[in-house]
């Protein structure tokens, strides 16, 4: 496997904000063994305990109380910032919710430290929240900081995992680069590869719940097929050959294997693409919350490969200068031809294409 970044940047430094179980870090370590996490933070005590047990360092706490100048210099900022303020399962208060305003802590760090790139992740509903105004404000904020920004909604089902988990990824570069979503999709694996055959009795739902589920899906069951039964907000039950998105705030019976039992801690980690040697050091309730909030690791890996590939390429302004494309009109025409019609660029949602300039050095 080609490991990006290592030729030109043998010790790429990154920070892991709202790190949770460390899904972003696992993905970064997979694509670059020599990458170096220089800072991590998470407010949740169970997340800190899990992260420390698996990576040997305890994350810092509340990011709102950490001054941006105290954060080490880094090349890439990674952040799956809290999604409850935008999730379909929450109140969707957006920036009115204090968890929604944590995005601006990311912005102040970007402004102060000016990393070469960033990767952000959140629920798909962020894009449409408040008629798209919330997302537009986020993208505009990132652009105003001098970053060239792209976004794309990805589904974990397309990267080998039997979990329907749609998330929006936002990536940005301090200096304009040749970027493309080079995503290698993987056929979804069978649930049999992820689910355990012997499970303790405490994972099973009550007889009453099982009977109610069975009556609801009696005509939908495919005989002898392994399924996970999903209950939506309206109370409708669907038996599916994959899991719907793990959710931190859902009821304990939101997902039931064959309508009978809850997922184990290890099964939840597998559905998010975590390795078998990941240590489970917190209780079931805490793991449900943390697993529901983490990222699908294989999906993040593909995003990071695309970002790393772009960082290896020359900065666009350098290419233009080398080709003697020095006038403003030529630069604007050149960049428009490459980026103006590309789906998922910031210009396609909030404004016409504008001339891209190299951001100031730190």
83 is catalytic: yes
Q: Both 26 and 127 in a single domain?
A: yes
Q: Both 51 and 102 in a single domain?
A: yes
CA-closest candidate to residue 242, choices 314, 174, 161, 351: 161
Q: Both 314 and 226 in a single domain?
A: no
Q: Give tens-digit pLDDT for 105-117.
A: 999 999 999 999 9
239: pLDDT strictly greater than 70: yes
Structure-token pair, residue 35:
């990458």
State the Cα–Cα distance between residues 32 and 55, nearest whole angstrom: 16
Helix (H, G, I), strand (E, B) or coil at 248: coil
Query: Using alpha carbons only, how large is the chain's radius of gyration in Å?
Result: 22
pLDDT of residue 323: 52
Q: Which residue in this structure is represented by tokens 């208060």?
A: 93
Q: Is residue 275 part of a domain?
A: no
Q: Both 102 and 247 in a single domain?
A: no
Average pLDDT, the chain: 84
* Phi, psi values for residue 285, rounded to 5°: -60, -45
pLDDT of residue 333: 55
State the Cα–Cα distance between residues 64 and 104, nearest whole angstrom: 10
220: pLDDT strictly greater than 80: no
pLDDT band with cut points at 50, 70 and 90 for residue 298: very high
State the Cα–Cα distance between residues 251 and 232, nearest whole angstrom: 10
Q: Both 74 and 171 in a single domain?
A: yes
Q: Both 70 and 179 in a single domain?
A: yes
Number of residues that make up the chain: 362
pLDDT of residue 234: 78
Q: Sort 319 into a burial class: Cβ within 10 Å, 0-12 / 13-18 / 19+.
A: middle
Question: Given strand 148-155, what is the order of strands in its sheet?
Answer: 36-40, 13-17, 76-79, 117-123, 166-173, 148-155
pLDDT band with cut points at 50, 70 and 90 for residue 83: low
Measure CA 292 to chain center.
12
pLDDT of residue 215: 86
Q: Is 18 left (phi over 0), alpha (psi -120 to 50) or beta?
A: left
Structure-token pair, residue 127:
């894009």
Say which CATH number the domain at 45 has: 3.40.50.150
Q: Both 244 and 145 in a single domain?
A: no
Q: Both 183 and 53 in a single domain?
A: yes
Q: Both 171 and 221 in a single domain?
A: no
Q: Is residue 148 part of a domain?
A: yes
**Segment 74-81 mean pLDDT:** 95
Q: Sort 98 into a burial class: Cβ within 10 Å, 0-12 / 13-18 / 19+.
A: exposed
pLDDT of residue 217: 84
Structural domain span for residue 224:
197-263
Please state, as a whole number, how many other Cβ atoms lie within 10 Å of the Cβ of residue 350: 16
Task: Pick the catalytic residue from 5, 41, 83, 89.
Answer: 83
212: pLDDT strictly greater than 70: yes
Number of domains in the chain: 2
Q: Both 90 and 219 in a single domain?
A: no
pLDDT of residue 81: 86
State the Cα–Cα distance between residues 344 and 13, nearest whole angstrom: 27
pLDDT band with cut points at 50, 70 and 90 for residue 236: confident
Please state, as a whole number, how many other Cβ atoms lie within 10 Å of the Cβ of residue 189: 13
State the Cα–Cα distance between residues 59 and 39, nearest whole angstrom: 7
State the Cα–Cα distance between residues 244 and 194, nearest whole angstrom: 14
């Amino acid at each position: 496997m080609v490991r990006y970044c290592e030729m030109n940047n043998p010790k790429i430094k990154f920070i892991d904000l709202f790190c949770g179980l460390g899904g972003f870090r696992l993905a970064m370590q997979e694509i670059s063994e020599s990458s170096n996490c220089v800072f991590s933070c998470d407010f949740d005590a169970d997340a800190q305990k899990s992260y420390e047990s698996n990576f040997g360092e305890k994350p810092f706490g509340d990011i709102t109380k950490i001054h941006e100048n105290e954060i080490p210099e880094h090349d890439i900022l990674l952040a799956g910032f809290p999604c409850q303020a935008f999730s379909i399962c929450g109140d969707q208060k957006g920036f009115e919710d204090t968890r929604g305003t944590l995005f601006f802590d990311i912005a102040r760090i970007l402004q102060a430290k000016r990393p070469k790139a960033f990767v952000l992740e959140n629920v798909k509903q962020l894009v449409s929240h408040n008629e798209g105004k919330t997302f537009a404000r986020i993208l505009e904020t990132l652009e105003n900081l001098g970053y060239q920004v792209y976004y794309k909604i990805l589904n974990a089902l397309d990267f080998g995992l039997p979990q329907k988990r749609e998330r929006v990824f936002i990536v940005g570069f301090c200096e304009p680069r040749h970027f493309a979503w080079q995503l290698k999709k993987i056929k979804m694996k069978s649930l049999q590869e992820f689910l355990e055959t012997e499970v303790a009795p405490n994972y099973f739902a009550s007889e009453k719940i099982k009977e109610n589920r069975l009556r609801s899906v009696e005509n939908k069951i495919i005989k002898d097929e392994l399924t996970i039964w999903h209950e939506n907000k309206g109370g409708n039950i669907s038996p599916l050959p994959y899991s719907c998105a793990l959710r931190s705030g859902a009821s304990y019976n939101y997902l039931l294997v064959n309508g009978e039992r809850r997922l184990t801690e290890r099964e939840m980690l597998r559905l998010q693409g975590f390795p078998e040697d990941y240590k489970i050091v917190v209780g079931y309730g805490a793991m449900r919350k943390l697993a529901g909030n983490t990222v699908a690791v294989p999906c993040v890996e593909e995003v990071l490969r695309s970002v790393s590939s772009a960082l290896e390429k020359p900065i666009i302004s350098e290419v233009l200068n080398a080709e003697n494309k020095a006038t403003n009109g030529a630069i604007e025409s050149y960049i428009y031809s490459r980026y103006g019609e590309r789906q998922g660029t910031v210009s396609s949602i909030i404004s016409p294409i504008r001339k891209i300039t190299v951001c100031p050095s730190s």
